[in-house]
Amino acid sequence: MTRSELITQMANRQEHLPEADVEVVVKALLNLLRESLANGERIEVRGFGSFSLHYRPPRQARNPKTGETVFTAGKHYLHFKPGKELRERVNFVYF
């Protein structure tokens, strides 16, 4: 689902709100989530899941094309852990 599809579906479910208002709310929510993660905060949405940052330390790697040893910098990456309710709904629907 893309952001525009999300906005359209939410606007269809909330008939009393114009699509432009729903778009503003969705964009504001996504920006708030983005800013919180950029500040190193953890985000938890009960029944859906949690977003957090994990750290990968620097390591020695190999360039597959040349075989040369290179050193990668440490970096943070986004980690999503689905909540119990989401896991149960996904497993129920597809399995």
Q: What is the pTM of this model?
A: 0.75
Instruction: List pLDDT tens digits, range 30-70.
Output: 999 999 999 999 999 999 999 999 999 999 999 999 999 99
Confidence of residue 28 (pLDDT cuts 50, 70, 90): very high
Domains along the sequence of the chain with CATH: 1-41 (no CATH), 42-94 (4.10.520.10)
d(CA 4, CA 7): 5
C-alpha distances (whole Å) from 29 to each of 25, 32, 74 are 6, 5, 29
